[in-house]
């Protein structure tokens, strides 16, 4: 739990305020911190930890007790535990778990513990020892968002809380979830969320243009984003930063598959992306990184964190990154900067205050708008070079994000916890766009294409609050767990748009010799249209994890939601979204699970009469198996899912009264599929993350949602040989997606199906650690320079995939 994570060794005071984006001056230190921690550890609370490997049960105990526990794998491997049930202090609980193993827990002066071999004839009661005498081990660090992956060196997560607010391991969570840990991001140089999604099993990407991408899971677009568990919706039409997020400030990215209405309220049924921010460290630590890559790409990153006072009760961290890159596209470049600061203060031994903020700016030049027309005027494929840029020289789509957040965590003596969280976020854009994108070019003289030209300036201001309590309770002789919470969100979108240019020349003289050298439009003083929409959501949720037997857990819960958008004429009140999940442990490693939830998602799509389609409604069913090996260092899962939906919007072929694309609602859409995934350590020095997914959406037997592949495969792995090659890490990966297709416009005015072929992309990496501080890494993406493209049938366009590119990074850690 965040307010109870403890240091292993004493820390010295550091003057970090000048290096960090946030600082707290004049805050009082907490008196006699060590004594307060010892007093908290002496208080008994209830535990219900199932049996399993000794390492796994120790990890779960440390997480629930809110202490740092260091346990060498050499001491815990091949050992099992019967678990722990009843009321114990921290010292009593550790003694009981270690009883009979010839081990004991040694307490340090700062409230942490380490497992060591007990002397012959000694019991397993915790002892006190100098912190410097403790053998080097890996710490278990967790909070109310789950276990921190930074520093774990692992490709798999520990505990997570995205599904229910309860901190559970992947095996205990009755839904499919994929997590890209900090180690994966570092190994494969994943600096953007687009790159993270490419590595995530079961996720596909549809590219609109140089500044916009859309992520899909199980055939549905992902519009639900969370930041440290707080829901924030993304508007993909007027994109403003979500899919350009820099990864320098995040510990991990969690992708919860399927419907997530219990915590998100309204939302799409494909998945939710939860971005978990980095947290301050209790000792001075950080890194400096410089990188360079193909197409004049340069990047610098600095990350510093540590305590601000003698006791370490006040900690802070700051991150800054800047990237200047061109690309394979002619004339295109983008400058991106990100700044992040966070401060934690232990107000009491059991109360933690966190405040922070971040800002990111993305400033491109010669932005594309839409893609390349798929067909020429003769109906043949319009094959253009991979370097072709349809954007004008002056075209740009600036996007920015500003976020401020605060949380207050408190742990009660009876094991209950309370969390209050507030998030304020501004997502803005300044888009002045022009692109040669409409029409069918004549293969002889390049005529027949016209420009899209428009200016859009706006922003979405979001305020979100969430508060919950979570803890154990006794019933029928067993201990169960309950979470109860409320949430509220308000989003205001304001936009000004210009498109009316009666004197502007839109025709492109020769498409095949287009270089973007066209006049900049002179926009009027008054916009041609404006938007000002306010969306309000409120909700109350509750979930209970029932300990029916030692090997059977049942989760039941639901959410009552209120949703209102007056401009779009959307008003849904008192909508109940149920949640049911069950997990049955077959043995120490394997579990079976099943889950069910309903789907509720208001939509702003309009029909040809301008009426908004009714909300998406349906049911989500999922069954599967999960496994946990090597003390939780390897996780595996297999799932079969089925979605049943009504009011699913598809293009009608006509236009709305305002000229937009019109949709119609179809009933009885069924999506069925399966997924398998594995992540973590498979052998000494070997780690991997990979998966295969299959899904098909049909309505009355006919396929729908064909822009996303029905089949996908992803596998990335790394190896550390050791011995004479100690310090070397080599790795690589492959991703494959099935063919996709869509109906596109033809020169004759009709429609025809166009299919984009399936493709493989291979990547590789190598890193060498010269010593514990200095390392260098080489990454190669699209190793074989595969030439492939994806289509966007709504605009009858396509976009080339990125050619082979190489980057080199040098990192200094301290």
User: pLDDT tens-digit profile of 321-363?
Assistant: 999 999 999 999 999 999 999 999 999 988 999 999 999 999 9
Where are the alpha helices (H) located in 433-516, listed in sequence order?
none
Please determine, for residue 270, whether its predicted confidence score (pLDDT) is greater than 60: yes
Residue 314 belongs to what H/E stretch? Answer: strand 314-326
Token duo for residue 247: 């990864």
For residues 733-740, average pLDDT: 96
pLDDT score of 32: 46
The pTM for the full model equals: 0.83
CB 488 within 8 A of CB 465: yes
Token pair belonging to 737: 């997606």
Q: What are phi and psi of 38, to 5 degrees?
A: -65, -35
Q: 275 and 242 in contact (C-beta within 8 Å)?
A: no
Instruction: Please write the tens of the pLDDT for every residue from 199-242.
Output: 999 999 999 999 999 999 998 888 889 999 998 877 767 777 78
In tens, the pLDDT along 80-95 reads 777 777 678 888 888 8
In terms of pLDDT, which residue wins out, 691 or 117?
691
What pLDDT, on a 0 to 100 scale, did the predictor assign at position 77?
A: 67
Which band of pLDDT confidence, cut at 50, 70 and 90, is reported for residue 134?
very low
Mean pLDDT of all residues in 505-526: 94
Higher pLDDT, 810 or 572: 810
pLDDT band at residue 15, thresholds of 50, 70 and 90? Answer: very low
Residue whose tokens read 């690589």:
732
* Mean pLDDT within 383-409: 96
The CA angle 241-271-571, to the nearest 5 degrees, is 80
Residue 249 CA to residue 149 CA, distance in Å, equals 13
For the cut 90, the answer to whether the pLDDT of residue 58 exceeds it is: no
69's tokens = 């526990």
Q: Is 183 in contact with 189 (CB distance < 8 Å)?
A: no
pLDDT tens digits along 363-373? 999 999 989 99
The pLDDT-based confidence of 41 (bands split at 50, 70, 90) is low
Lowest mean pLDDT: which of 30-44, 58-72, 437-451, 491-505?
30-44
Instruction: Give the separation between CA 135 and CA 138, rounded to whole angstroms.
Output: 10
Q: State yes or no: pLDDT of 138 exceeds 50.
A: no
Specify whether the CB–CB gap between 156 and 635 falls below 8 A.
Answer: yes
Q: Look over the chain and give the mean of its residue pLDDT values, rounded to a whole number.
A: 87
Q: With beta carbons less than 8 A apart as the criterion, state whether 132 and 110 touch.
A: no
Give the other-Cβ count within 10 Å of 547's Cβ: 20
Task: Report d(CA 623, CA 762) in Å as an integer.
Answer: 32
DSSP letter string, 566-601 = TTTTEEEEEEEEEEEEEEEE-SSSEEEEEEEEEEEE
Query: Which whole number is the average pLDDT over 44-50?
Result: 68
Give the pLDDT of residue 18.
37
CB 436 within 8 A of CB 504: no
Give 421's contacts (C-beta < 8 A, 6+ positions apart).
228, 229, 230, 405, 406, 407, 408, 465, 466, 467
pLDDT at 1: 36
Task: Extract the tokens encoding 104.
Answer: 């004991």
User: Burial, 748: exposed, middle or buried (Cβ in 10 Å; 0-12, 13-18, 19+)?
Assistant: exposed
Q: Indicate the range of 60-69, 466-475, 529-538, 789-798 predicted with least confidence.
A: 60-69
Taking residues 121-128, report their average pLDDT.
Answer: 49
Distance (Å) of CA 90 to CA 68, 123, 611: 11, 16, 60
User: Do 669 and 682 contact (CB within 8 A), yes or no?
Assistant: no
Q: Residue 735 has what pLDDT?
A: 97
**The length of the chain, given as a count of residues:** 814
pLDDT confidence bin for 751, thresholds 50/70/90: very high
Whether the predicted pLDDT of 267 surpasses 90 = no
Within 10 angstroms of residue 69's Cβ, the number of other Cβ atoms is: 23
Query: Which residues in 660-683 are b (16+ Cβ under 10 Å) and which e?
Result: eebbbbbeebbbbbbbbbbbbbbe
Average pLDDT over residues 479-500: 94
Please enumerate in sequence order all residues whose Cβ is within 8 A of that of 108, keeping only pairs 6 or more positions apart, or say none.
8, 9, 114, 128, 129, 130, 131, 134
With a cut of 50, say whether residue 256 has pLDDT above it.
Answer: yes
- Beta carbons within 10 angstroms of residue 432's beta carbon: 20
Query: What span, in angstroms and rounded, lies between the C-alpha atoms of 602 and 605?
Result: 9
Q: Which residue has the higher pLDDT, 582 or 17?
A: 582
Q: Phi and psi of 382, rounded to 5°? A: -85, 80
Q: How far, in Å, are 175, 257, 611 from residue 595 at the CA level?
A: 7, 12, 34
The pLDDT value recorded for residue 126 is 53
Greatest mean pLDDT among 11-20, 104-113, 226-235, 450-459 lies in 450-459
Q: 535 vs 569, which has greater pLDDT?
A: 535
What token pair was written down for 344?
Answer: 């934690």
Q: Give the largest CA-CA distance in the chain.
A: 94
């Amino acid at each position: 739990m965040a307010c109870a994570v403890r240091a292993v060794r004493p820390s010295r005071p550091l003057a970090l305020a000048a290096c960090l984006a946030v600082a707290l001056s004049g805050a009082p230190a907490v008196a006699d911190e060590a004594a307060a921690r010892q007093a908290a550890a002496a208080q008994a609370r209830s535990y219900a930890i199932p049996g399993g490997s000794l390492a796994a049960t120790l990890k779960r105990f440390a997480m629930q007790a809110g202490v740092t526990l260091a346990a060498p794998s050499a001491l815990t491997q091949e050992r099992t535990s019967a678990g722990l049930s009843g009321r114990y202090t921290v010292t009593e609980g550790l003694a009981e778990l270690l009883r009979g193993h010839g081990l004991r827990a040694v307490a340090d002066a700062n409230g942490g513990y380490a497992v060591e071999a007990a002397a012959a004839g000694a019991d397993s009661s915790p002892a006190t020892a100098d912190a410097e005498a403790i053998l080097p081990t890996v710490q278990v660090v967790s909070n109310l968002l789950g276990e921190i992956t930074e520093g774990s060196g692992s490709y798999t997560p520990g505990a997570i809380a995205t599904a229910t607010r309860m901190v559970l391991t992947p095996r205990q969570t009755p839904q499919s979830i994929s997590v890209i840990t900090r180690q994966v991001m570092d190994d494969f140089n994943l600096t953007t969320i687009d790159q993270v999604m490419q590595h995530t099993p079961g996720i596909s990407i549809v590219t609109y243009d140089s500044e916009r991408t859309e992520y899909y899971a199980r055939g549905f677009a992902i519009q639900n984003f969370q930041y440290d568990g707080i829901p924030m919706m993304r508007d993909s039409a007027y994109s403003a930063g979500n899919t350009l997020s820099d990864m320098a400030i995040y510990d991990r990215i969690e992708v919860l598959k399927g419907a997530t209405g219990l915590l998100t309220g309204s939302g799409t049924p494909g998945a939710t992306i939860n971005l978990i921010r980095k947290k301050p460290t209790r000792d001075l630590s950080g890194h400096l990184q410089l990188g360079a890559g193909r197409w004049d790409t340069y990047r610098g990153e600095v990350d510093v964190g540590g305590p601000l006072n003698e006791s370490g009760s006040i900690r802070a961290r700051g991150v800054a990154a800047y990237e200047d890159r061109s690309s394979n596209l002619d004339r295109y470049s983008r400058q991106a900067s990100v700044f992040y600061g966070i401060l934690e203060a232990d107000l009491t031994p059991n109360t933690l205050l966190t405040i922070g903020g971040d800002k990111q700016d993305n400033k491109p030049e010669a932005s594309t708008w839409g893609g390349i027309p798929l067909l020429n005027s003769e109906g043949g494929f319009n094959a253009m070079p991979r370097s072709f840029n349809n954007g004008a020289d002056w075209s740009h789509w600036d996007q920015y994000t500003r976020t401020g957040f605060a949380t207050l965590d408190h742990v009660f003596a009876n094991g209950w916890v309370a969390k209050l969280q507030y998030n304020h976020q501004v997502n803005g854009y300044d888009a002045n766009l022009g692109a040669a994108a409409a029409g069918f070019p004549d293969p002889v003289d390049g005529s027949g294409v016209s420009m899209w030209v428009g200016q859009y300036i706006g922003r979405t201001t979001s305020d979100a609050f969430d508060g919950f309590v979570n803890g154990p309770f006794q019933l029928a002789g067993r201990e169960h767990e309950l979470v109860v919470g409320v949430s509220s969100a308000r989003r205001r979108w304001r936009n000004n748009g210009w498109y009316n240019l009666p004197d502007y020349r839109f025709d492109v003289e020769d498409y095949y010799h287009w270089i973007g050298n066209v006049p900049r439009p002179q926009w009027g003083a008054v916009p041609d249209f404006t938007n000002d929409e306010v969306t309000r959501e409120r909700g109350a949720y509750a979930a209970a994890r029932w300990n029916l037997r030692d090997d059977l857990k049942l989760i039941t819960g639901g959410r009552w939601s209120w949703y209102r958008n007056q401009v779009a004429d959307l008003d849904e009140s008192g909508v109940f979204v149920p949640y049911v999940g069950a997990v049955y442990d077959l043995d120490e490693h394997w579990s079976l699970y099943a889950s069910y939830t309903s789907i509720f998602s208001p939509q702003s799509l309009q029909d040809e009469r301008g009426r908004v389609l009714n909300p998406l409604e349906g049911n989500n069913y999922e069954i599967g198996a999960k496994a946990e090996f090597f003390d939780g260092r390897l996780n595996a899962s297999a799932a079969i899912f089925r979605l049943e939906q009504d009011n699913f919007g598809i293009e009608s072929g006509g236009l709305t009264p305002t000229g937009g694309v019109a949709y119609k609602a179809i009933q009885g859409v069924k999506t069925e599929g399966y997924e398998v995934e594995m992540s973590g350590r498979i052998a000494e020095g070997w780690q991997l993350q990979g998966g295969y997914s299959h899904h098909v959406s049909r309505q009355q037997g006919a396929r729908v949602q064909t822009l996303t592949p029905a089949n996908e495969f992803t596998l990335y792995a790394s190896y550390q040989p050791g011995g004479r090659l100690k310090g070397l890490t080599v790795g690589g990966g492959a991703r494959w997606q099935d063919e996709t297709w869509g109906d596109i416009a033809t020169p004759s005015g009709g429609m025809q199906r166009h299919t984009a072929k399936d493709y493989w992309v291979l990547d590789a990496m190598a890193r060498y650690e010269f010593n514990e501080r200095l390392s260098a890494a080489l990454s190669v993406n699209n190793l074989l320079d595969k030439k492939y493209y994806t289509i966007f049938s709504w605009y009858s366009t396509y976009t080339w995939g990125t050619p082979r590119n190489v980057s080199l990074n040098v990192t200094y850690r301290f």
